Structure formats: C-alpha cells, structure tokens
Amino acid sequence: MSIIQKIRDKAAVLLTTMIAISLIGFLVQDAFVGKGGSMFDGQATTAGSINGKDVELADFSKKVNMVEQNYRSQGMQTNEMMTQTIVENVWNSYVQEEMINGEAAKLGLAVTPKELGAVLFSDDAPQEFKQMFADKATGLYDVNAARNWFTNVKKSSKPEDALNIEEQLIKPIGINLLSQKYTSLITQGSYVPKWMLEKMAADNASFASISFVGVPYTTIADSTVKVSDSEISDYVAKHKDEFKQEHVKSIAYVSFNANATPQDSARVYNQLNELKASFYAAPDAKSFVTRNNTSLPFFDGFALKSKLQMGARDTIISLPVGSVAGPYLDGGSYVIAKKIQSKSLPDSVKCRHILVGIVDPQTGQQRRSDSAAKKSIDSIYAVIKSGGNFGALAAALSDDQGSKAKGGEYDFSSVDMNLAKEFADFIFNKPKGSMEVVKTEFGYHIIEVLNQKNFEEAYKVAYLAKPIVASEETDAIASSAATQFVGSSRDQKSFDETVAKMKINKLTADNIKELDYSAGPLSSRAIVKWIFENKTGAVSEPFDLKDQYVVAMVTNEIKEGVQPATVARVLVEPTLRNKKKAEMVAQKAGAEKNLDKLAALLGGTTGRTDTVRFADPFVPNLGSETKVIGAAFNKKNLSNTSDVIDGQNGVFYIKVNQVGALPSSTIDFVGQKKALESQMKQFAGYSTMESLKKSMKIVDKRRDAGY
C-alpha cells in the first residue's frame, strides 16, 4: 500500500531531511574555510586528483555523508566498516566518472534526458529505486508512483532535493549508460572467422600416442638446490607486471580480553531475577520495561504462535496471562518476558479502504486541514452506508494511488511491519464485515474487512532484556594490563621481552594497505591510520576495540613498486628451483636419447599413453602437464626423443609414436561462433575498462584528508 507503508511513503521526506542536515553542516564548515586564522588552516583541501583534476575534499565528504544518510534513512546502521566501504565506493565513482567522461568527450558520446527517463522509469531502473516504489499487492515496480515522486521532487523549492536526485540517481545512471555506449564500440568489433573455427575443431579432434620417461622433482632434495636473492630479483625484473607491490606494512600485536566474564553474566542474570517480582506486579508493562531500559523495545501488538522464535518460546506460550518467564538467555542478553494478553488472530486479511489524506507522503506538504479531511471522509462514509459503491468511490476519491485502481483492495500478512498501527489493529482485530472510519498519521481512512484466514493463537508479550556486557571492573583490568604492557615496551626488543615476561601470545598481521579498514582480524580504521603514521619499530598506546585492548608494533614496511626478493621468494623460489633441477637432469642425461636407458640413468619411470588429446588440460598417467601436451604435437618429436621438458611436477622426455584425428562429428559452427564472440565481447568490455583505469594518473590523498 503506497500510502500506508511507512518506509516507502516517508522515504523521500526522510531522505531530503537528512541530506539537508548534512549540507548545512558542510555549509557551516565552508564558512570557516578561507578566512584568516581559520581553525581549518593547514588541513588537506583535496582527497586526491584524477588525471590532474582535483577531488575537492568538501565535495567528497559531502557525497560520503549523503550516502551514509541514505543508509540511515532506510533503517540501516553505519559502522566503521560500512563507512569505509562507502568511502571506497564514492572514490571509485569519481574515478569511473572521470574515466568515462574523458573518453566519451573524445568520441562525442552523450546521454540524453530521454535515454535517462527510459531507464529510470522501466525495469532497468536501479533496484533500490524499484523497491522504493514496489506495488504492495503485486511486488512489481510501480512506474507511475515513481514518475509522480520524481516530478514532485523536481518541483521542490528545496535545493537539496534536486542535488540528491542528481548525485544518487541521474549521475550514476548517466555514467552507466555512457560506459555501455563506449564499451559497445569496442565489443561490437568482436569477430571469429570460419577458418579459426575449423582450425579449433581440427585441433580439438587431434590425439597423439607417446612414450615417455618421467623424473619427479621430488627425487632431488630441495636442500641441494640453492636459489639466491639476485636470481629471484632477476626473475622478478623480467616479470614486473606479475610482481607489482602496493605500499604495505606489517605489525605484531598483543590483545587483552575485555569481554564479559562469568561474573558479569551472573550480575546481569541476578539483576533481572530481582526485577521479576516487580515486573509481575507492574500494571503497565510498557512503562516498566521502558523505565528499566530494556534493549528490546516494547511492541504494542500481537505475534502469532507460529511466528514466535525466541529460545523460551514454549515456556512463554504455556504461561498464564500476567505471568513472567525467565531470566533466559537470548543471544547475548538475558531476558524476562511477561505475557500480557492472548487472542485468536488471522494470519492474513483481505480489506479495502478509501483514504482522504492530510499530508502528501512524497513531499511532506499538507494537502488539507484535519477538519476538512474529517468532513470529507464522513461524507463519503455516509454515501457508502446509504448504498454507494465502495470500489467506485475509492477509484474516484481515494488519495492512495497504490490501491484506487483496484477499488481500494489489499491483501496483508500479519508479518507486514510496514502498516500504520491503527490500520493494522483494525483489520486484524475487528471481525470480517467490519467497516469504520480510522485515523492514521496519513489521514482518515474508511476501512472494510472483506476476509480473514488461518486463525491461530497470538500473544502480546513484553520483554525486559539486558545485554551481557563487561563490567567497569572487567574493562579496567584489561585496560590496566594493556597500559602496563605499553609502559615496558617502547621498541621491538622490549616489546618481545615483555611478551615473554607476561607470558602472552604475540600475534601478527601482514600486508596491511593504507586505506584498509582492518589490520588482519582487527577491525579498526584507527589502528590502520596509526600504522601508516609511524615507522618500523614504533609501539602504540592501547587501542580500545570494545571487546579487547590491543597494543601494536610496526614490524615491516614495503614501499610501492616491484616486490623485493624477500617477498617474491615464496612464489618464485619453487619455479627457479625446479628449473635448476631440470638443468641438473639434462646435464646428467647428456646426449642419451634412448628412453629405457634414460630411465635407468636418471632413476625415472617409463610409460606409454595413446590418448593425449590436444584439447584436454592433462595427460593420462601424468596429470596436468601442458608442456608435454605441446611437445606431443610437435612434428620434430615424431619417432624422435624430445629435448628435456621441465614440466609442472617433474622432468620429462617423450617420443611421439603417432599423431591422428578422431572421426569428426557434425559441428554447429554458427552456435560456436556466437558463443566465442559473446566470450570475446565480455572479455573486451572488462579489459577495456581495466586498461583505461591503468592509463589514468590517480593520486590518492584520502589518508592525508582523514579517511
């Protein structure tokens, strides 16, 4: 129900209000910037630059704040991790915008208002936008409701409304359309000629019969083969693109547990147990739980028996009305529950209504006065009571655009939490056939209950919940231990000595990047900032991470560029070591070409396989050995022993006995052509964007700007 649903109806109002608040904050800040003696002197004014174009910090922060407010207006909480994700997404949007706009300008590409409208008011609209205007009855995107909202916001006298439309809807859709146009120019050139398909078919049908000698690398001990740092550096220098290194740091850290202790848990349990008798005697359960700071807000409604999911469900169901259960454990809290009332309720209702609204839910502007709305609804109600057609009157007079075309009808489930309370109370509690005038925050309704189904017992329950948290004493003990550790640990040597003295675990976190929101398992942007503000060997003050106190020490730093040998060794050493082992095998084999003699000389094993397929990724009896497959179809190895092959798992010599082709079946060249060209288009689209991004000059100063 587009009028009744609180989330959808209030979305535009809440969104623009939140954005307005954030903009006022930035306007106030701007008032200080640029004036002599400003408290902002010396601070960064840009978040970075993209292709020489500065990203103004005020603009960047405003957009981050806007997205955060959007999340909150939808009932979502923003924590440190989510905020950092938002920051990253906003930054990437700047990069994408600059990248696409620059290329589009060179080619004369543009997106027209008509194209934008065709996307926004169609099934291709952003999913969040479609959900905001989903028809309650069908779940489908209500294009007319979206169009009306868009028109109203454009006409709004509030500049923040238009700003939100531009930043959150128009610009992202426009960038996406430009990206599609640009990549289409590239991808539409994808073409696979017939001769290539025929060559692929012939190769895939090819097979070879080979005899071989295999010498596993494991027959030579790793300890006998040394790989120097200079050899690794030479290899890395020849494969720079494979070993690009971001600026990263590593830390060692110790943690002091500040979680609730069994004593803290018992304290919460006893606190609730002492309140149990008072809860039982309290005449007003809502006031009681509110006064005692429950972490589960009072819900003034009924929950069906089948929908109760708490651990003490069966106990609560069996309680007499007015009785109290608990304390029982529910997640990280102890809870006592009082059954207030029980009754039989339906789990679904069919109803119809006519709304005479007082406010426009899309703009928040007043439509009519309360008295005028009441007078109008009373007149309509009198006509219905006199035999007037409810459906026709709803279609002609109702302000609810989501139902008037259906004669005001809706189907609701008892789990629908978006209904106005007064509306829900009437349709679920009044018997079938009831019809009355009901007032909600949206205006006056004439509501008629048409049908109710699947009755079952339902309960109104008040919950007094207290989370199990660490006491001040528990927290103080952990904080004191961390402070004591820091007092004895001012460099790497004393850090390690104190770890040994206090008999605590030293943990590590590696490859921490400058804009990460966590350092290994430590979810703390503050720790990451500290790491990159300090040099190797620095020891931090204790960081309070709520459930623990952490003391960190910077242990290593690798600058941006190509990986040094110490880092690349773990990947390069096995490759170079196996290559050296292959050279040792070749040197020992000398000029010998007889497979049996080679096996005896090298301590290898001989074998034969007649089903080496060109199209297969592995060799029967040998495994994944692509170099062996390549050698099997090399004409110079036909009836001759190959040169040494340094394979994936060992060293090989092969002799090709025969090369042939399997009988060819009918090939769908048209289907293969379409499939290959589709793959090429996908790859071309992705690789084009990656290449453009790599070619850009991006200077990221977000950390200097406080992010």
Give the pLDDT confidence of 80-116 residue by residue, as tens digits.
Answer: 778 888 888 889 888 888 888 888 888 888 888 888 8
Average pLDDT across the chain, whole number: 85
473-502 per-position pLDDT tens digit: 999 999 999 999 999 998 999 999 999 999
Q: Is 60 exceeded by the pLDDT of residue 26?
A: no
652/153: higher pLDDT = 652
**Beta bridge mates, 501:** none
pLDDT of residue 1: 39
Q: Place 703 in a pLDDT band, splitting at 50, 70 and 90.
A: confident
Q: Place 335 in a pLDDT band, splitting at 50, 70 and 90.
A: very high
pLDDT of residue 645: 95
Give the largest Cα separation in the chain, rounded: 112
Residue 484's contacts (CB-CB under 8 Å, 6 or more residues apart) are none
What is the average per-residue pLDDT within 417-440?
A: 88
Q: Which fold has domain 248-258+471-559?
A: Chitinase A; domain 3 (3.10.50)
In the chain, domain spans: 6-187, 203-243+565-661, 248-258+471-559, 260-469
* Among candidate residues 632, 660, 642, 501, the one with its CA nearest the CA of residue 582: 642
Q: What angle do CA 403, 409, 411 make, to 5 degrees?
A: 110
pLDDT of residue 377: 94
Q: Place 75 in a pLDDT band, splitting at 50, 70 and 90.
A: low
Q: Which of 2-11, 277-286, 296-305 has the lowest mean pLDDT?
A: 2-11
**Beta bridge mates, 617:** none
Residue 232's contacts (CB-CB under 8 Å, 6 or more residues apart) are 565, 568, 569, 572, 573, 576
pLDDT of residue 389: 93
Residue 406 CB neighbour total at 10 angstroms: 15
Fold match between domain 248-258+471-559 and domain 260-469: yes
pLDDT of residue 2: 36
Which CATH architecture describes the domain 260-469?
Answer: Roll (3.10)
How many Å from the N-terminal Cα to the C-terminal Cα in the chain?
A: 41
Backbone φ/ψ region at 194: left (φ over 0), alpha (ψ -120 to 50), beta: alpha
Q: Which amino acid does the sequence have at 571?
A: L
pLDDT of residue 38: 34
Which of 8-17, 157-166, 398-407, 433-442 is predicted most confidently? 433-442
Q: Is 60 exceeded by the pLDDT of residue 52?
A: yes
Q: Place 76 in a pLDDT band, splitting at 50, 70 and 90.
A: low
Percent of the chain residues past pLDDT 90, beyond the cut: 48
The pTM assigned to this predicted structure is 0.62
What is the average per-residue pLDDT within 452-469?
A: 92
pLDDT of residue 18: 36
pLDDT of residue 131: 74
Helices 595-602 + 565-589 axis angle, to 10: 120
Q: Is 50 exceeded by the pLDDT of residue 45?
A: yes
What is the average per-residue pLDDT within 384-395?
A: 92
pLDDT of residue 247: 92
Backbone φ/ψ region at 629: left (φ over 0), alpha (ψ -120 to 50), beta: alpha
Tell me 664's DSSP state: P
